[in-house]
A and B are shown apart, each in its own frame.
Chain A
Amino acid sequence: MTRRELFLCFFVMGLVAFGGVLPWARRALVEQRRWLSAEEFAEALSLGQVLPGPNVVNLAVMVGARFHGALGAMLAFTGLMLAPLAIILLLAVLYGHYGQLGVVQHAIRGTAAAAAGLVVAMGYNMVRRQAQKQAHAWRKSGVTAAAFAGSGLLALPLLWVLAVLAPVSMLLAWRGHK
């Protein structure tokens, strides 16, 4: 894989990835180009889930770094963000100009209700999968419920929620691993 191919792959991925990048990333990296095996992709994803920062950006950095070092990481990151950032800024400017129009406001209000539903579905799927399939489901669901309450119901700062729950949850996991 050349640097050019790396950049172009992530550029196209950013451009076509409507409704979440991960399915598109999997298709491009695992199925079409075979730069990663299915296991490597799952591994990178699970790592991306616990590292700070946007998951897909982390994935781009990992893949870029693996094949072309620091330059590769920068190329993959830039490729991924370039088109979506340009498009979102264009949308933002249009929103700034026309956002006050009644019909636009109403359309966006409808879209926002559906966007909330997308995130609800994502959370629901993750909660359900965790409760059904994995070991220690009660312990994990308890931590999930506490994070939901702290961040959602009590509106505590994210830093506090993490400072309390991350060590507690890891300690519980440590004991469960004995």
Chain B
Amino acid sequence: MNSRSLSEVLWYFLGLSMVAIGGANALIPEMHHQLVELRGWLSSSDFVSLVALSQAAPGPNVLIVSLLGWKVAGIPGALVATAAMCIPSSLATFFFIRFWQRFQQSRWRAVVQEGLVPVTIGLIAASGYVLTREADHGAPAYAVTILTAVAMVRTRIHPLWMLAGAAALGALNIV
């Protein structure tokens, strides 16, 4: 928790804000690779624990960024990371929206949208892969991941029930 890490948190997430297409859920592989493997700011098991905490709490997915900032530099780190992640992209959205609306019928607008959405889908799928690879050690954990995914795809069960059930299985040392 020193000022160097606080400024590193600031610069990393400022840079990430403007390339964060597809939202926070698309960023998991990038953040895991950078922060765990290259910079060593936290361990992989801490990383997946923080992702789990952010999924269990209310609010937007971007809270994972707040938790990563917190892990590196405490509460100031959380605030700096959240602001750095949200403010540049929010400003871009604010200024871009009027400009974009003028081109509602134009061809290149459809092209940008059609071009970028498949990329974001691939990034989110990659997030699922990296989380599974890093979170699951052993068959019971893989079973929980698969069961949760199937329940989310096939049923209308609320995700909190799956998280709570998995927490209970974990506490009982089954997973």
Contacts and interface: CB of A to CB of B under 8 A. Distances in A.
Interface of A: 14-21, 46-58, 61-62, 65-66, 70, 73, 77, 80-81, 83-85, 87-89, 91-92, 95, 99, 103, 106-127, 130, 136, 140-141, 143-153, 155, 157-159, 161-162, 165-166, 169-174, 176-177
Interface string B86-128: 1011101110110010000001101111111111111111111
A91 B62 contact: no
A117 B168 contact: no
13 contacts: A14-B58, A15-B59, A19-B158, A61-B90, A85-B66, A87-B58, A106-B173, A110-B175, A112-B135, A115-B163, A117-B162, A130-B121, A153-B126
Contact of A174 (B60, B111, B132, B173): B111
Contact of A15 (B17, B58, B117, B150): B58
Given A109-B141, A113-B145, A166-B119, A54 B21 contact: no
Contacts of B136: 113, 116
Contacts of A47: 97, 100, 113
Contacts of A58: 89-90, 93
Most chain B CB within 10 A, of A92, A143, A150, A157, is at A92
A171 to B, nearest CB: 8
B63 interface: yes
Contact of B124 (A51, A91, A109, A119): A119
Contacts of B49: 95, 99, 108-109, 112
A162 B149 contact: no
A52 to B, nearest CB: 5
B135 A115 contact: yes
A57 B23 CA distance: 9
Interface of B: 16-25, 27-30, 33-34, 37, 45, 48-49, 51-63, 66-67, 70-71, 75, 78-79, 82, 85-86, 88-90, 92-94, 96-97, 100, 107-108, 110-132, 135-136, 141-142, 144-153, 158-160, 162-163, 165-175
A89 B48 CA distance: 17
Nearest to B31: A158
A39 B52 CA distance: 33
A14 B111 CA distance: 33
Contacts of B135: 109, 112-113, 115-116
A103 B169 CA distance: 11
Nearest to B60: A56
Q: Give 10 closest A-B pairs by Cβ, nearest first.
A: A110-B170, A84-B59, A53-B89, A147-B122, A117-B148, A152-B126, A170-B115, A121-B152, A114-B166, A123-B125
Contacts of A146: 122
Contact of A158 (B24, B27, B115, B148): B27
A51 B96 contact: yes
A166 B116 contact: yes
B119 A162 contact: yes
